[in-house]
Structure 1
């Protein structure tokens, strides 16, 4: 039988295509030279990932892997704009990390967002921009622009969704130390319990109520030596501990089937936590000596208590079978969780600010561009903002192509190409288009040109040894500022 617990999914997302702008002129009786009146195309819908407190797994993405938002409609005459596409909202459990995947290797490249609050959202596949109608390209010298922008096709890509449990405390330890029995006694959770190792293969959550306290405890599958290196599915289990504020380290005082030393078990698990992530070893920890009702464990309990207290950890001796010591443990855990919650509440930033931060980072990534020399005499300009302009240009319309060339000059693309070593006659490649470079142009020649209503500033990015690798990184925002300054002079 397949497990219903799903903590990693990879899905293909694509925003909706943008609608094309309209090239139209007002034509009415008794209205000579009515002028341009083409409407804008509608923007494509975004694919949005949103955290939902009602969900507990990524099961919805187990069998369906492709998601696409609605496209925008085309603009029309009489300044009628096209309708924008509806956003597609994909809901995930709280505690989901969203990562961008390399299209070839399918390995994570960078983290897009970490959704830990109910309702928190991030755009993972922006819809294509709608094309501008010809009304946007009117200037003092271009009174009747006979071109409009095409809609931008949306890009599809793969992302990874990784769910990390959102629990206040996590029960960790070797297999068969009694973690499942403890969570069953402490809460209403009913995990599988049996007298053999690795009975628990997926985490279990239980709500605990003790006195005035209530909190969530996670029963994490057993760890073994080498878990930090991935042994025994260690990475899959250890990731769930990252979210918890408190670690409940359970140690079997009987030594299990192998008659292990409890103190050595305690040391091994702590080493694995430290090797997986140094911050885990610094996290508040309560040491729980379980199966203390077994005969001949008194000396072992004393040795473990001494080791735990020397490390600065609280210590409790309990029995999941008889319930001895459990009430005291549950109250102590509740008190610690309440303190940790209070500390987090002070530093936690509002959800809307986190949403704005994810969006700001996305826009920054979109605005960057760089120049790469692919071969002698051939350079490629890479950047979503630049590529969008090329895609939205009607290459059958000479006036539209000239406008694009002027726009590149204002953005500093020509200057950046020269700095990267591009010379007149070299080939410049953008998307699937190739051009002959004619050299940087004088901005003052295009003083009459106006921006077409979109923010095309591109921020610089740091590339190690860029010059050695034939990469020129530029800041087009600064380039446009310089252009405006020279025009003003």
Structure 2
């Protein structure tokens, strides 16, 4: 089964709780704090793997969770970190945010185009710190520790786009499947009716010293860019290919279509789907020259291809660009002209690979880019006035501070108050109009606002 788009829910592991403990030894009546840290939770990682060919592993299982960190213990014993959960996907998989409630995709997380390339899609929670970290000159015996940080979670969309050097495109029954079977060892289904091919087929072809991967894309129809005939499902697999091989049926199939009109429709659909496809290098192939009476259609098509090539060279925005001025005439049935076509495709692919080699040196490090975006978003918080005297503070980092706090421990609450002040929450509330006595809500907890200089007097817990 060919699965090329799935949505899955990922949850990293929560951090383990830090330990509040004091050293207890014979003849040492006042041993210092020795509580260990909690272990970090495991991350959820998406990794491109050349051995994986589809997203079928995620067709029926949609929820994935990494292991949590274990809690710290006394005697400075730190908890073990949770194991990362690595989800293998095919090379060419695009990873995006997905919002299940609105059914919309969000930001691009990564475009995994190389074997072994990976990105963290859910960060494990940081383990809570033991009480050994909270010793100060004035607080020699801290009787509190942090709870583990909650892990990141959410839906992501995985979309597989074929990684092929050349894509065979054309109208239904143009002979693309027959051609790929002649060019490579691929064995697609071949029949004399439209839409025989419903999923893309890949084959490896060789010509001389060069080899290339060719994809047989299911037939396109007019309106494919709008989704007609599963157009979007097929067109997206052309986006990555370096070279478009446009196969035109000289016979017009059983509908007796005009080959030039078919040629025009496919060019137009590619351009309307994505501007960059209009500028993708292409080779035009006239198929079924073994059928009598196709000579005249071949000559007309050759003239149009040459004219388009000249127009593209002159910068005409309406011409497919850039385009090989030669029309390659073949018979996918008998094999006539296929070897010459393979040689032309191999040479062009090699040329395009060499041109792209320098670009790979400046390859995007998605882990760094996504991590930077995530950190920026994580630090943001906002203050909303719910009604007179009631305000809500929302933001990932601020909410985690509250969740990490042991609410049965007064010292832990005082430390939270200090952290909130340092994060700028007090000033933000004052700018929003909060005054002494107003109710402040953060993640199910409620506080009474008091503008004070000492952290211990900023908030009073109302224990909601």
Q: 1 CA distance for matches of 2:431 and 2:165?
A: 54
What is the deviation of 1:178?
Answer: 0.5
Cα deviation for residue 375 of structure 1 reads: 4.6
Given that 1:191 and 1:204 are in contact with CA atoms closer than 8 Å, whether structure 2 keeps it comes out as yes
Distance 1:371 1:190 in 2: 61
C-alpha separation between the residues in 2 aligned to 1:254 and 1:173?
13
Residue deviations 1:238-277 (CA, integer Å, cap 9, x gap): 1101111111111111111221111111111111111111
Cα distance in 2, alignment partners of residues 380 and 35 from structure 1: 39
The equivalent residue for 1:468 is none
Asked if residue 274 in structure 1 is aligned to residue 286 in structure 2, the reply is no
Distance 2:265 2:446 in 1: 60
- What's the counterpart of residue 425 of structure 1? 437
SS of 2:14's equivalent? coil
Choose from 282, 287, 308 the match for 1:285: 282
Q: Among 97, 102, 110, which residue is 1:100 paired with? A: 97
Give the equivalent residue in structure 2 for 1:121.
118
Measured after TM superposition, the shift of residue 349 of structure 1 is: 4.0
1:160 and 2:157 equivalent? yes
Aligned equivalent of 2:61: 64
Q: For residue 350 of structure 1, report the CA deviation from its aligned partner.
A: 6.8
1:249-268 → structure 2 map (5 Å cutoff): 249-268=246-265
| Inter-CA distance 103–155: structure 2 relative to 1 (3 Å threshold) | farther
Residue of structure 1 in register with 2:459 after alignment:
none
Aligned to 2:334: 322
Q: CA deviation at 1:377?
A: 4.2
* 1:427–1:265 distance in 2 versus 1, CA, 3 Å: farther
Q: Match of 1:232?
A: 229
Shift of 1:119: 0.5
Q: How many residues align?
A: 441
CA pair 398-341 structure 1, distance change in 2 beyond 3 A: same
Worse-matched range after superposition: 17-26 or 295-304: 295-304
- Residues 134-143 or 227-236, more deviating: 134-143
Contact kept? 1:120, 1:351, Cα under 8 Å: no
CA distances 1:64-117 after superposition (whole Å, capped 9, x unpaired): 221111111100111110001111111000011111111313321222111111
In structure 2, the CA distance between the partners of 1:157 and 1:322, relative to structure 1 (3 Å rule), is same
* Deviation (angstroms), 1:192: 0.3
| Alpha carbons of structure 1 residues 375 and 311: separation in structure 2 relative to 1, 3 Å | farther
* Contact 1:120-1:355 within 8 A present in 2 as well: no
The match for 1:179 among 176, 179, 190 is 176
Aligned match of 2:191: 194
Q: Contact 1:51–1:92 at 8 Å: present in 2 too?
A: yes
- Please give the secondary structure, in 1, of the residue aligned with 2:343: helix
How far apart, CA to CA, are the structure 2 residues paired with 1:340 and 1:380? 56
Q: Report matched runs for 1:361-440 at 5 Å.
A: 361-439=373-451
Q: What's the CA shift for 1:41?
A: 0.4
Checking the alignment, whether the CA contact within 8 Å between 2:110 and 2:366 is kept in structure 1 is: no
Partner of 2:318: none
* Structure 1 position 366, deviation (Å): 2.7
Shift of 1:129: 1.6
Residues 334/375 of structure 1: CA separation in 2 closer, same or farther (3 Å cut): farther
What TM-score, normalized by structure 1, do the two folds share?
0.86
Aligned-pair RMSD on alpha carbons? 1.9
Q: After the TM superposition, which residues 12-23 of structure 1 pair with which residues of structure 2 at under 5 Å, given as runs?
A: 12-23=9-20
Q: Quickly say closer, same or farther: Cα 1:160–1:353, change in 2 above 3 A.
A: closer
Alpha-carbon distance in 2 for matches of 1:371, 1:201: 52
Aligned twin of 1:464? none
- Structure 1 residues 361, 70: CA separation in 2 closer, same or farther (over 3 Å shift)? same
Cα contact 2:417–2:455 (8 A) shared by 1: no
Q: Compared with structure 1, are the counterparts of its residues 422 and 169 closer, same or farther at alpha carbon in structure 2 (3 Å cutoff)?
A: farther
Is the 8 Å Cα contact of residues 220 and 229 (structure 2) preserved in structure 1? yes
How far off its partner does 1:423 sit? 3.7
Q: Deviations over 1:343-377 (max 9, x none)?
A: 22211147794443343333333333333444554
Q: Report the equivalent of 1:76.
A: 73
**Alignment partner of 1:91: what SS?**
strand
Contact 1:427 / 1:437 at 8 angstroms: preserved in 2? yes
CA gap of 1:327–1:127, structure 2 versus 1, over 3 A, is same
- Out of 219, 222, 232, the residue aligned to residue 222 of structure 1 is 219
Scaled by the length of structure 2, the TM-score of the pair is 0.91
